[in-house]
Amino acid sequence: MAPDSRRIALGIEYDGIGFKGWQIQPGVRTVQAVLEEAVARVADHPLQLQAAGRTDAGVHAIEQVVHFDTRARRSERAWVLGINTHLPPDVAVHWAHSVPPDFHARFSATARHYRYQILVRRTRSPLMRQRAVWIHEPLDLERMRAAAQALVGEHDFSSFRALSCQAKSPIRRVFYLDLDQQEGLIVLAIGANGFLHHMVRNIAGVLITIGRGEAPVEWTSELLRIRDRRLGGVTAPPQGLYFVRADYPERFGLPQISQRAPLARLRDDSELAQSP
């Protein structure tokens, strides 16, 4: 970070339908590319954004956190208004906040939270087609909840990571995993100290299979034991997945708008109590 630069954090919401994911890739539209162009126009110089999490194609974000370094001097309000002026309708900045040089959107995060939506009804929904995965047969929610209990706490999630996952360790601690249903929409809410590539979608795929009665409730425990992704079931589609938010130490003072996740029925109380 240059001596004359300052670090700015942003809270971003985006609809993932029209993007090939977060990370810049040649020849395709990505959230990072669109956002960097808009921020650079306000800053008056090229820059690079760092994000709390890299979402895949079709995945949405309610409050993604990013940061960048800049020589420009703008008020926080000017950053928000100026960047939004240059953004397309499927991306918006909700807040900007000046942070100290040691803040990092990815490495300073103490927890991350995701949501996965499952629409259970006999006919498809045109309005929800890119907002939830559609399952046309009934799912047994109690079986899914019972199976999910095994995933709470610290485990080796090798069976729930993508084969291409580059994370050095498969060990993650899940603070809570909740499943609620209202008017046919099942919402899976999960928070952890970190996630492996496709981990949430793989968990959703396994729980859907168990909810259909195609696998026993004990399958989640068995998958944790065998630590083999090749036996880990189907990866659920991306359109039901939402990056909800990341948590950071209070000293950074981020003005996050997302409500904190409720205390879930399936939770690791000892660790959740320590999450800021």
Q: According to the CATH classification, is domain 111-243 in 3.30.70.660?
A: yes
**pLDDT computed for residue 258 by the predictor:** 59
**pLDDT tens digit string along 99-117?**
999 999 999 999 999 999 9
* Concatenated DSSP letters of 173-203: EEEEEEEEEETTEEEEEEEES---TTHHHHH
For residues 76-105, average pLDDT: 97
pTM of the model as a whole: 0.90
pLDDT digits (tens, 9 = 90+) for 10-38: 999 999 999 999 999 999 999 999 999 99
CA distance 87 to 85: 6
Other Cβ atoms within 10 Å of 133 Cβ, number:
22
Pinpoint the residues of the chain covered by CATH 3.30.70.580.
Answer: 6-108
pLDDT at 257: 65
| pLDDT given at position 274 | 44
- What is the average pLDDT score of the chain? 92
Query: Which of 8-17, 85-94, 262-271 is least confident?
Result: 262-271
Q: Where in the chain is the domain with CATH 3.30.70.660?
A: 111-243
Q: Each residue of 114-143: pLDDT tens digit?
A: 999 999 999 999 999 999 999 999 999 999
34-62 confidence digits (pLDDT tens): 999 999 999 999 999 999 999 999 999 99
* Architecture field, domain 6-108: 2-Layer Sandwich (3.30)
| Token reading at 202 | 């793989």
Give the separation between CA 192 and CA 266, rounded to whole angstroms. Answer: 12
- Rounded CA gap, 130 and 115, in Å? 14
Q: Which residues are marked as active site?
A: 56
